[in-house]
Structure 1
């Protein structure tokens, strides 16, 4: 439902009215060069679950921006599913939940080393977390903090700088002299051969690792205002390069203006954005221990009003992922996924990285187990014998394309050559008869990928 022009929300911050659409309009300018979003405001219902015992459903009406005109990195594939408003603006999701007494005016985000993460509204962290105060600009409030010291291995400097902790930015952007100190000291301590400069990569310092199981990268540590240490657990990004193979890079980009601490520096922590105490908190976490969080008591205090959160940088994450081990061609085994009880708190689960393959694949893999789970957290389908063998051999006997020679780099057993103008209607159909007699038609049992990408 669109937000009408005469609504209270539209009157805040002098938002204009779109007369052609008869709805409240918005425009947000982002830190990325020439990146903006213009459109109208709409309202929708956000479905959440508390971590009370017993669990309770919570439906919260929130306001979203429905983009009509996008510019900059949005046109290059960034944030294809949109951006979640988490800033200090009164219209952001945390502010709305707090103003309605549904959660404390605080939230946490966790970026796990396995590529998964979570967000918990109302999370005020724990007593043993590190903390540093926000530097609040009343006109343009952001999650800005101060760093008083930098350590790279044994190299220490008392360079002072401020930076925005921005979960919407994939990498970390730093100005000189901070950028030069961290990158040059990291380079001098790196034990692997430096990769030649590559215009296709946004990073200046990349390396070819001799050990493709564990990367011995230099340690980076930030001392925050107040003296608390913030150890960067994942300062590197692993990415593929032209010609095949992978390199790891210091995940820091030289900035021309503002300093931004991005997702890669937050990996391995539960980051708490406490807007009541106006502090940033952090505690080491694998993102599955959220039960230690303190989400109560609920405070009905409203969030201070402010302009749209300009700190959100909608740059899409490039490369394979943020973990230290080099990627494998084999997909992960079935995970707990959406049936895991660890996700049954006041949590909106964020998937930060997905395993994907882009020939002509039957997406059935052999596994171990005796029952089938519908799991949205698993990319492919895993079946035991005899169902796996029966289904795959039946599919193969009806396939009309030439089967490819088995390839150890491909996790699927049955693959077929497919011409660009192939008729997909010739792909064997598949259906499952469920308990009770209902039919479940499998509309997409295959994966299509360009062969050149794996050769």
Structure 2
């Protein structure tokens, strides 16, 4: 975690924290409360790893720095709802998200929704993951005019998650048939998952084109791994996702480098199969890009970035709330989708490689920053510092 101290958030240590009662408009579990004055509980269940979190909802202040150099817009105090976890199961007990998850979903209780509802920023945000495992998030950012984009797709007629339609996968110059699928763009997933048929076609073509010897590394979750020496020049075939209107997404680094005790010993194509017809585009595919989640226009945008190259003209300053509304209004909950006990689309970071034994090749887990892009819409425990 880049040598940072991870200190858990405590409501009792914050002078601005407020417990939500069961009578609050954003308390979805109020029908199960014994009285309106009871503290509002929450329960979030995940599909993966039998992982869950339960606790109490808290309102507190999130301090955000402006992307503008204008001193008058240097910072903003924004109210957010925090899911203060009291009981965790599954992946949380194994160290997943040690510094919490930030809610970035489309529901009214998520952080971007709060900021946009208050009139502080446009209803959009961007994420950028760099090769050195650092990253940035910019609320209000709608990206560049020159960026490529594709529309988000509804699920059962509703826009609840960030789903896009992949028309084809290309390996090198070969675009493979029968590789169209829908995919969840999930920054809470460290790696990428494809529906089984698309996965088989992609990995088979990659295996044909790669110039390396197939090898199995103990402890690796990936099927297609190869021997490789740090002295060799690694030239892997490109992996490209094709979207509508011929927009292309070239994956910057689709492989996971395997380190041994004496340096680089191999690499794996960091893609796994998943059941069903919806894949997951994880953080490893987003690395090297400025990923724009434009919620106003319901589209995903992307442009190459090293996460440090945003000029002042491209950064989004915070704006004061309009005069006709309070400075920090809580949003209404007409479209709130997080219910007590609701099952959330999987945060699959827990599926990243497990620690191998001392006798096996050591897998160094680099890209493992967790910023939730699904409709969890809660801050769990506290914010992940590497996300900012």
Work out whether the TM-score is over 0.5.
yes
Q: Which residue number corresponds to residue 373 of structure 2?
A: none
Q: Give the alignment's TM-score, normalised by structure 1.
A: 0.65
Instruction: Using the TM superposition, give the Cα deviation of residue 242 of structure 1 relative to its aligned residue in structure 2, in angstroms.
Output: 8.8
Evaluate the alpha carbon distance shift between residue 156 and residue 5 of structure 1 in structure 2; reply closer, same or farther with a 3 A threshold. same
Contact 1:13/1:307 (8 A) holds in 2: no
The answer to whether the aligner puts 1:156 opposite 2:175 as a matched pair is yes
Between Structure 1 and Structure 2, whose CA radius of gyration is higher?
1
Q: Give the alignment's TM-score, normalised by structure 2.
A: 0.76
Match of 1:69 among 58, 82, 87: 87
The residue correspondences of 1:4-403 to structure 2 (distance < 5 A) are 4-10=21-27, 12=28, 16-17=32-33, 22-52=38-68, 53-54=70-71, 55-137=73-155, 138-139=157-158, 141-158=160-177, 159-196=179-216, 198=218, 200-212=219-231, 215-240=234-259, 246-257=265-276, 258-291=278-311, 293=314, 295=316, 305-308=335-338, 310-311=344-345, 313-316=347-350, 317-318=352-353, 319-320=363-364, 351=386
Contact 2:226/2:267 (8 A) holds in 1: yes
Contact 2:67/2:138 (8 A) holds in 1: no
Instruction: Using the TM superposition, give the Cα deviation of residue 246 of structure 1 relative to its aligned residue in structure 2, in angstroms.
Output: 3.8
- State the SS of the aligned residue for 1:91: coil
Q: How many residues align?
A: 327
- State the SS of the aligned residue for 1:136: strand
Evaluate the alpha carbon distance shift between residue 15 and residue 124 of structure 1 in structure 2; reply closer, same or farther with a 3 A threshold. farther
Contact 1:175/1:255 (8 A) holds in 2: yes
Give the structure, 1 or 2, with the largest relative contact order (CA under 8 Å, sep 6 or more). 2
Contact 1:104/1:296 (8 A) holds in 2: no
Residue by residue, what CA displacement relative to the aligned partner does 1:138-187 show, whole Å, maximum 9, x if unpaired?
Answer: 55610000011110013212432100000000000111211011111111
Instruction: Using the TM superposition, give the Cα deviation of residue 6 of structure 1 relative to its aligned residue in structure 2, in angstroms.
Output: 1.3
In the aligned structure 1, how far is the partner of 2:37 from the partner of 2:115?
A: 28
Contact 2:195/2:273 (8 A) holds in 1: yes
Structure 1, unaligned stretches of length 5 or more? 324-347, 353-376, 378-455
In the aligned structure 2, how far is the partner of 1:15 from the partner of 1:104?
A: 34
Residue by residue, what CA displacement relative to the aligned partner does 1:177-221 show, whole Å, maximum 9, x if unpaired?
Answer: 1101111111111112222253x1111111121344753222100
- State the SS of the aligned residue for 1:48: strand
Evaluate the alpha carbon distance shift between residue 3 and residue 241 of structure 1 in structure 2; reply closer, same or farther with a 3 A threshold. farther
Residue by residue, what CA displacement relative to the aligned partner does 1:11-67 show, whole Å, maximum 9, x if unpaired?
Answer: x58674487993111122224232222221112211112233234220111101112
Structure 2, unaligned stretches of length 5 or more? 1-17, 326-330, 354-362, 368-382
Evaluate the alpha carbon distance shift between residue 295 and residue 245 of structure 1 in structure 2; reply closer, same or farther with a 3 A threshold. closer
In the aligned structure 1, how far is the partner of 2:34 from the partner of 2:268?
A: 45
Pairwise CA RMSD: 3.1
